[in-house]
A = this chain, B = another copy of it.
Amino acid sequence: MVRTWAVSGVDLHLDLTGTRVRAALEAALRDAVRTGRLAEGVRLPSSRALAGDLGIARNTVADAYGRLVAEGWLTARPGSGTSVASRPVAAGRVPPPPVPRERPVRYDLRPGSPALSLFPRTAWLAAARRALNTAPAEELGYGHTRGLPRLRTALATYLARTRGVHADPERLVVCSGFTQALGLLAQVLRSRGATGVGIEAYGHRQHAEVLTAGGLRPRPVPVDAHGAVLGGSEAGALLLTPAHQFPLGMPLAAHRRAEAVRWAHDTGGLVIEDDYDGEFRYDRQPVGALQALAPDHVVYAGTASKSLAPGLRLAWLVLPADLVEPVGEAKRIADGHTSTLEQLTLSEFLTSGDYDRQVRRCRLAYRRRRDRLVTALRRDAPDVRVTGIAAGMQALLELPPGTDEDEVIARAARRGLALEGLRAYRRDTGDRGPALIVGYATPPEHAYTGALARLCAVLIP
């Protein structure tokens, strides 16, 4: 049972499943102090009162308080109860950083992040333990530039099974996130004489920056209801999001897929398939990877950033044969190879079935959140058209013509809700009307209801 509760006006999130109630309580309080949600000097309820609120034993609360006092998070003074310490310093430890980088927002519906609370901490740690305990010592040394052979084999099997990728472990390169993967590709394309790369008219700013830093000029390609519109682009490469256009949300239509492959065949061009959320499709069979249609002309790019967590910095490329060597060499010069421990753990996670379980779990959670979003908007903001929701973890909310995106975003900010407009993802040629891109996986579970309520409130004219 997962419960949301409040201490001194701060919503906290407590997972009461299993036997580790005290640990969960400690963690929730620690996080609240660390992130500043429970500020210095705030007085906590008595252990009796809090135990009553939560329906748990008073001793559990008292033990948790005692431990947090010992660690320096809280202070207890006879007669004045327990309160948040002025400087949370664990005994003998270095003090935590004084301020977070950005002012935390209370509710966040910006796109791009999975539900971080779904990261399978216990299973990941168990996989790390199994992997590290059986790894030969030499694997901890300077490693395989293109990735551990066992991970490349596990990924090839997984990608063939779930995404229909034509995957040969020898054609895989493991990278430290898609950002790095794209940068390595840009370097290699540049060294082969390419000067530009076609990108969709709407997409991540960071991708355009990475291409530019790699010496390639991004050339926006229009996007209509069927996805990217190809037509006489003279660029030698094309970056697409075929399964679920980011951020608009439509799949690349079948005839457009065929066109992209024909273009690559005819011109010797390269398609880079950014399959950032291909595993998360809700309403029908997933669209298989474009790469399978032309493995010698398409680079498939996948990532663990959506299925597990961006913080892992794990991604992978499946490359045409002639790119394996140069991309591997670029990787060697960039950082040698990706962390071996992360690779060992991911390999174990894939082969044990943990990865499949995680994807299923996330898919279910995201589908529920999506449905709640759609229901709430239909009820409270019927003028808003919601699209792009067959897959992934973001929705396009088209606002009535004439609405000022920035004004809506500013109104939301005043209510503690962070939003992003479509304009932030537009590259010069985009011509769509006002819209929001809502990332419905972003808020923690306990904050989703509040986030939806605030979203609807700012959308009501």
Chain A positions near chain B (C-beta within 8 angstroms): 23, 27, 30-31, 34-35, 93-97, 100-101, 112-113, 116-117, 119, 121, 124-125, 128-129, 132-134, 136-144, 149-150, 152-154, 157, 169, 175-177, 179-180, 183, 209-210, 213, 309-313, 333-342, 350-351, 444
When distances are taken between beta carbons in the complex, the residues of chain B under 8 Å from A213 are 333
A335-B133 in contact (CB<8A): no
Q: What are 23 pairs between A and B in contact, CB < 8 Å?
A: A27-B134, A31-B136, A35-B138, A94-B157, A96-B149, A97-B149, A101-B144, A101-B149, A116-B141, A125-B128, A143-B311, A176-B335, A176-B338, A179-B334, A179-B336, A180-B336, A309-B340, A312-B339, A313-B337, A313-B340, A334-B335, A341-B342, A342-B342
Which of these, B27, B30, B101, B176, contacts A176 with CB under 8 Å?
Answer: B176
CB distance from A364 to the nearest CB of B (A): 18
**Chain B residues near A30 (CB-CB < 8 A):** 134
Partner of A309, one of B101, B121, B141, B334: B141
B93 and A311: CB pair below 8 A? no
Residues on B with C-beta less than 8 A from A309 are 140-141, 340
Across-interface contacts of A311 in B (CB, < 8 A): 139-143, 339-341
How many whole Å from A366's CB to the nearest CB in chain B? 16
Known: A125-B128, A132-B121, A169-B97. A339 touches B342 (CB 8 A): yes
B116 adjacent to A125 (CB under 8 Å): no
Whole-angstrom distance between the Cβ of A160 and the nearest chain B Cβ: 11
Tell me the bound Cα distance from A221 to B96 in angstroms: 43
In the complex, the answer to whether B313 meets A338 with C-beta atoms within 8 Å is yes
A309 to B137, CA, bound (A): 10
Q: Report chain B residues within 8 Å CB of A341.
A: 124, 311-312, 342
Instruction: Chain B residues near A169: list those with CB within 8 A.
Output: 97
Are B125 and A132 interface neighbours, CB within 8 A? yes
- Closest chain B CB from A328 CB (angstroms): 12
B136 contacts A34, CB within 8 Å? yes
A106 CB to closest chain B CB (Å) equals 13
Contact A313 B333 (CB under 8 A): no
Question: How far apart sit A95 and B154, CA to CA, in the bound complex (Å)?
Answer: 9
Shortest beta-carbon distance from A412 to chain B in Å: 19
Chain B residue numbers with a CB within 8 Å of A177 are 335-336
Complex Cα spacing A71 to B139, Å? 21
Given A34-B136, A311-B139, A311-B142, A339–B339 Cβ distance below 8 Å?
A: yes
Set of chain B residues within 8 Å of A101, measured between Cβ atoms: 144, 149
Partner of A94, one of B96, B154, B336: B154
Q: Given A134-B30, A333-B179, A338-B313, A141 and B125 touching (CB < 8 A)?
A: no
Note all chain B residues with C-beta closer than 8 A to A138: 35, 116
Q: Tell me the bound Cα distance from A175 to B334 in angstroms.
A: 11
A121→B133 contact, CB < 8 A: yes
Which B residues lie within 8 Å of A121 (CB)?
A: 132-133
Chain B residue at minimal CB-CB distance from A93: B351
The residue of chain B having its C-beta at the shortest distance from the C-beta of A125 within the complex is B129
Residues in B neighbouring A180, C-beta threshold 8 A: 334-336
Quote the shortest CB–CB distance from A39 to chain B (angstroms): 16
Residue of A113, A116, A335 with most partner-chain B CB within 10 A: A335
Expressed in whole angstroms, the Cα–Cα distance for A48 and B149 within the complex equals: 36
Min C-beta distance of A73 to chain B, whole Å = 11
Which are the 4 A-B pairs with shortest beta-carbon distances?
Answer: A311-B340, A97-B149, A180-B335, A140-B309
- A138 shortest CB reach to chain B, Å: 6
Residue numbers in B under 8 Å from A333 (CB-CB): 179, 183, 209-210, 213
Q: Which residues in B have their C-beta under 8 angstroms from that of A93? A: 351
Q: Are B335 and A140 closer than 8 Å at their CB atoms?
A: no
CB closest residue in chain B, given A129: B125
A157 to B96, CA, bound (A): 12
Most buried by B among A34, A113, A140, A177: A140
- Report whether A142 and B176 are in contact in the complex, using a CB–CB cutoff of 8 Å: no
Structural contact, A142 and B113, CB atoms closer than 8 A: yes
